[in-house]
Every structure is written in structure tokens, then in C-alpha cells.
Chain A
Amino acid sequence: MSYPEMPQRPWSQRHHVRAIVWTLVLIILLALSSWATGADFGMFLANLDQFTVLLVQMAHPAWDYLSVIIQPLYETIQMAILGTTIGAAFAIPFSILAAHNLVSNKYLRGLIRFVLDLVRTLPDLLLAAIFVAVFGIGSTAGVVTLAIFSFGMVSKLFYEVIETIDMGPLEAMKSVGASKITIIWYAVLPQVLNQFVSYFLYTLEINVRASTVLGYLGAGGIGVYLQRSLDQFNYSATAMIILATLVVVMVIDGVSNHLRRVLL
């Protein structure tokens, strides 16, 4: 009776070659990037007193500033609601075209997905800067920015939902000769509607967060006041804005979380 040979670790595993190589790569990248960014911890410590003054000011929010920012806060929420709605409305047809169980044409699907990927790479503030140049300073630029930003995100979430549906109802309808539009209306939408609404609310949460800084570049909402207070070195007002934003975000998150739990 022959015993199986003891497993042997190859040379590279015995000497932890992989771990050492990864660590070296990490250290080299770290060194390169601290050189490229001019990171200097001493400089931060040297200016620490200035930073502490700033933090102390922030620890005393200007409570009376609340009456000034209440209106722009509403505007921020309004921008988020409209932007998300427009984005989601455009996302529905695109997500149907991108779902592999509804569209068999590989090239069309690939093209649509590529466009969606491209849209998703653009940071929200970048879009805001461009749309402020087109639409001028104001909430229109903010709504358009949020619409495009949420379009990219929502369509990906939507087509992933569509790809998980039960194909039974679709085949049943196809076998009795229903048209594509009828199939989508009666067999696809009822299956995905709840999840669509849930993802819509989730995107709304993200957009409320995003819309609070869009105004920094002139795209309306509370961000305009954020920029004003920072430019005037009025950090207690900045702190108030951040606090008020936090409350709004928490309320929207709470409502949306509750609704999503009811839906699913």
C-alpha cells in the first residue's frame, strides 16, 4: 500500500513571494504618490493651530442662520425630487433596451450599456459646472445635473432588476401573439414596479446628498449659501448649514427607508 505523497509548497509560496511583491508595489506606489502630491505631515502639524481655530468656530453653529437657509433647503429637496424623477423616466426605456432577457440584439445592448457606463463615469460636480455654463446660475442647472447623474445610476439598477424577472408570463403572452409593447406593459412592468420604486427612492436619497453641494458651483439650493459662508470665513454659519443638511438627509432617509420596507 502506497501512501500519498505529502503536499509540497512550491518555492514561491514557501518564501511568500506574492505577499512580498504586493507589499513592495504598495510601498512604491505610496512613495510615488506622496511625492506627486507633496504630502508633508509636518506642514499639517505646523498649521494645526489655524485648523483648530476653524474647528472651534464650527463647534458653535450660528443657530439664527437657520431662518436664512430654510428656503434654500426646500429648494434643494425640490431639485432632488425633480432631477431624480426626470432621470428615472428616461432610464426606463434605456434599461429595457439594455436587459439581455428582453433584447436579443447583442450589439444594440452593448452600445446602450457602453453609453450608460460613460454617463456613470462623470462626477456630479463636473456636470454641474458644465450645466451652469449652459443654463446660467440657478436651480435649472441643478435639476439637469441631477437628472443626468441619476439617469446613469438608475438605468443600471433597473436593467439588473429586469434581468432577474420570471420569464413565464412573457412566454405565455408571446405564445398568444402579444406585441412587444403589450408584453412589457402586462408581463414585465408588474414584476419590477415595486423594485423600481424602491431604487427610485434610494437614488432620491443619494441625490438629496449630492444636491447640497451642487450649489457650490452655482447650481442652486443650499450649496450657494455653503459657498457664501465659506468665502466669508463664516464657519459657524457653515456648521449650521452642515447640521441642517444632516437633518434633512436623515429625514429623507428615514421616510424613504420606511417606504421601501413597505414596498418590498
Chain B
Amino acid sequence: MQTTLSHEFSPRSLWQRWRWLIWLVVIIAIYSWAIGGLQFTGLQASAKEVSKSIANGLVHPDWAYVYNGSGEDLSTLTLQTLAIAFLGTIVSAFISVPFAFWAARTVHERWHLRSGSGKVMLTLIRTFPEIVLAIMFIKAVGPGSYAGVLAISIHSIGMLGKLFSESLENMDRGAEEAITSAGGNHAQVFALATVPTIMPEFISYTLYRFEIAVRSASILGMVGAGGIGTPMIFAIQTRNWPRVGIILLGIVVMVLLIDTLSEQLRKKLI
């Protein structure tokens, strides 16, 4: 009996054989566009000098700035930064909950008016960079940490609302069905099934968002919205590198501490 191979190796098509070349051309084109388009100022004549004094300032930080009792020192302003991040995150966490229910797609349709409009709303909020929000709020309430709080709480609604609504979409509906089948009404389903199921995830996302907010709060001061960013930008502008060094150190320690703490708490939650 003669067996014939039912299918021969089909020769690779022209596209498959030369695909890599096309990719290569595309990538080279993108990079030449990117490199050619930028005007590199090159190193300034003073760059070496400046780098040297920065390095010098970073290894000899201005320790006296850590606490001097003036209320404008590192420890006071670090605490203020944390307060801005904390208040902003908590406020936005509460406001995000209704937004999340608005935007969650719980009905299996491709386009749903309620959730669709909610998602557009959240995207619209997220579009505004935090810095722009901060400047807008400075116009409304004057420079200071309150503007920072408002900027962070509004910006976080966009992020938290999205995360919350996604966790509502993916949540386990078993508990809700159990309460419904036992004769519970809507309010009971919500209080006894929805809230306990979703709470750990909401809190975990809020903690995660707090980590990000601490970083944001430490730079919002650069535009005048309170916190450690204000002395930082002053120190950079006046070339006070030892001061920059100690503030950088303060920010790094603060962020590392908050990240570790929040990670531990989140591990406990889930």
C-alpha cells in the first residue's frame, strides 16, 4: 500500500517571508523620525559644573532643614503632603462609589446608555492632568494645600471610578442570588451581599490609589498646591542643592514607607 502525504509543506507566502523586513523598515522609520525631530540642546557649558554641585549637594544634604520649628521644614511639610494625599484619596473613594455603579456594565449588551455614559464621564475626568486640575483649583480657592486636595480628589475619581466599576463587573454574583432566592429585597441584597463581596477589593484599590496620590501630592506643590513640592522647586531654582538633597531623601523615605505599609495592608485584605 502506498501512502501519500496528504498535505505537503506549503511554501511560506511572500508576506510571511518578508514580514521581518517590513517591520525593520517601519521601526527604522519611526526611530529616524523620533531622533530627527528633536532638537538636542546638547550639554550646556555649565552642565558639568551643575551636575557636580548636584552630586555634592545630594551627598551632603542640609540636615538642619529636617526640623527647625518654623512650620516650613521637611517634617512638617512631609506630613502636610501625606495629609493632602490621604484626604484627597478618601474623599474621592467616597465620591467614586456612585460613579462606579453608574459606569459598571452589569447588563450584557454591547452598548448600554447608563454604563456607556458613565464610562465616558470617567474618561473625561481622567483626561485632565493633575497639574492642570491643581492650577484650576488654585484659581478657585487660592494657592495652598486645599487646592492640592481638590485636584487629587477629582483626578482620583476618574481612576478609582474605573477600577471600582470593573470590579463590580467582575464580582461573584453568587451571594446576591442567594439573598434574592431567600426572599430578600433590593436593599437587603445590597447590604448583605453586594457590599461585603466588593468591600475588600474597593479598599485595596483605595490603598493602591493612596500610594499614587502620595507621589502626586509631593509634586503638586511645584505649581503652588501645597506640600513638599513648593520648597523643592524653590530650592532647585535657587540652586540650593543641599536643600534639594534633603528634600529628595525625605520624599524617597516617605514613599518607601507608605508603599511598604500599604502593601502589607493589601496583602492582609485579599
Contact = CB atoms under 8 A, between A and B. Distances in A.
Tell whether A pairs with B: yes
Contact of A242 (B39, B128, B222, B255): B128
Nearest to B128: A242
A159 to B, nearest CB: 17
Interface in A130-160: 130, 133-140, 143
Contact of B80 (A36, A134, A217): A36
Interface string B1-40: 0000000000000000000000000000011011101111
Contacts of B157: none
Interface string A237-264: 0100010011000000000000000000
A226 B42 CA distance: 24
A130 B54 contact: yes
A13 B82 CA distance: 32
B38 A139 contact: yes
A54 B146 contact: no
Contact of A33 (B39, B40, B84): B84
Nearest to B212: A123
Nearest to B235: A129
B87 A213 contact: no
B38 A79 contact: yes
Interface stretch (B60-68, B103-111, B185-193, B213-221): B213-221
A79 B40 CA distance: 11
A44 B141 contact: yes
Contacts of A47: 140-141
A51 B136 contact: yes
Nearest to B131: A213
A126 B219 contact: yes
A172 to B, nearest CB: 27
A125 B86 contact: no
A29 B41 CA distance: 47
Interface stretch (A62-70, A105-113, A114-122, A182-190): A114-122
Contacts of A143: 38
Quick one: which of A40, A122, A245 has the most chain B CB within 10 A? A122
B227 to A, nearest CB: 9
B47 A134 contact: yes
A81 interface: yes
Interface residues of A, number: 55
Contact of B132 (A75, A136, A238): A238
A193 interface: no
Contacts of B79: 36
Given A51-B140, A75-B38, A78-B34, A129 B132 contact: no
- The number of chain B residues touching the other chain, given as a range, is 35 or more
A54 B42 CA distance: 39
Given A29-B86, A54-B139, A138 B236 contact: no
A123 B38 contact: no
A123 B146 contact: no
A221 B109 CA distance: 41
Contact of A37 (B37, B127, B146, B229): B146
Contacts of B83: 32-34, 36-37
A217 B237 CA distance: 11
Given A50-B140, A54-B139, A230-B135, A37 B145 contact: yes
Nearest to A118: B252
B50 A134 contact: yes
A121 B256 contact: yes
B182 interface: no
Contacts of B54: 130, 133-134
B41 A38 contact: no
Given A121-B255, A139-B38, A212-B129, A81 B149 contact: no
Contacts of A50: 139-140
B218 A126 contact: yes
Contacts of B118: none
A34 B84 CA distance: 8
3 interchain residue pairs of minimum CB distance: A33-B83, A37-B145, A36-B83
Interface of B: 30-31, 33-35, 37-44, 47, 50-51, 54, 79-80, 82-84, 86-87, 90, 127-129, 131-132, 135-137, 139-141, 144-146, 148-150, 215-216, 218-219, 222-223, 226, 229, 232-233, 236, 239, 244, 248, 251-252, 255-256, 259
25 contacts: A26-B90, A33-B84, A33-B87, A36-B80, A43-B146, A44-B146, A47-B140, A50-B140, A79-B38, A122-B248, A122-B251, A123-B215, A123-B251, A126-B218, A129-B236, A130-B244, A135-B43, A135-B44, A136-B44, A138-B40, A138-B41, A139-B40, A217-B222, A226-B129, A245-B127
Interface of A: 26, 29-30, 32-34, 36-40, 43-44, 47-48, 50-51, 54, 74-75, 77-79, 81-82, 85, 117-118, 121-123, 125-126, 129-130, 133-140, 143, 212-213, 216-217, 220, 226, 230, 238, 242, 245-246
